Amino acid sequence: MSASASGPAPHVPKKTRLGILLSGRGSNFLAIARAIAEGSLAGVEIAVVLSNVVGAPGIAAARELGLPTECFVSRGRPRAEHDADVIACLRQHRVDLICLAGYMRLLSADFIAAYPDRILNIHPSLLPAFPGLDAQMQAFEYGCTVAGCTVHFVDEHLDHGVIVLQRTVPVLDDDDAHTLAARILEQEHLAYPEAIARVVSGRYRIEGRRFVAHAAQTS
């Protein structure tokens, strides 16, 4: 093939390919998709949206957007066997960075080892407070006056890896667990695209448990 009269084609930087894993509604996935479409999250594309639950609304939403989707039912299957299928699928779609977006399933050690520091999760609490299920309800019933959400790398412990960013939400006197969860969710939708941008930039280092952004270059 010959180069054009004006010279060789310009170099197009490769986009980071995201693999989204979800089990339900998919509002965090949609927030990521929206940020990409609007250009506020640049340099990434969604390679595949994958669920462990048949009929997850997030999968229907992904199909409507024309994105590749896959479903691997996890119920009743050994974790290692299920995760091997998921890893094979992510490799087939050449995924660089995995985003758990309401994926209500623990990953096997093999899965985490296959993507070291390449798996993100969002959790609706200010970790390390309230890991696990119903985090917003836990924070409300505990009497917290500040709640929030956390985006973190996934390690072998539940809701535990290095924190990329957190956003806070005040607990109001007239809140109940549902109104609080709704306001936390609004912050999740801002936090996840921002955290992905930070990781994809590559301008950070991990010191112990700390995610340290590199100082912006002058000149």
Cβ-proximal residues to 194 (8 Å cutoff; 6+ apart), any chain: 151, 165
Least gap, CB of 101 to ligand GAR (angstroms)? 5
Tell me, yes or no, if 123 is annotated catalytic.
yes
With CB under 6 A as the contact rule, the residue among 18, 19, 28, 108 that binds ligand GAR is 28
Parallel, antiparallel or unpaired: strands 119-123 and 44-51: unpaired
Residue 137: strand, helix, or coil: helix
Binding positions for ligand GAR, 103-132, rule CB under 6 A: 122-124
Q: How far apart, in whole angstroms, are the C-alpha atoms of residue 89 and residue 19?
A: 10
Contact characters 32-71, ligand GAR, x per CB under 6 A? --------------------------x-------------
Q: E strand or H helix at 63, and its extent? A: helix 57-64
Among 21, 22, 98, 144, interactor with ligand GAR by CB under 6 A: 22
For residue 9, give the amino acid letter: A
How far, in Å, CA of 86 to CA of 111, rounded?
9
Nearest to ligand GAR of 16, 136 (CB atom): 136
193 touches ligand GAR by CB under 6 A: no
Under the criterion CB under 6 A, does residue 163 sit at the interface with ligand GAR? no
Strand 16-22, strand 163-170: pairing: unpaired
* 71, containing H or E segment: strand 69-71
Can residue 161 be called a binding residue for ligand GAR (CB under 6 A)? no
Our finding on whether 167 is near ligand GAR (CB under 6 A) is: no
Cis peptide before 68 (omega within 30 of 0): no
Selecting among 123, 157, 189, 214, the annotated active-site residue is 123
| Active-site annotation, residues | 123
- Name the site residues for ligand GAR (rule: CB under 6 A): 22, 24-28, 58, 101-102, 122-124, 135, 159, 185, 188
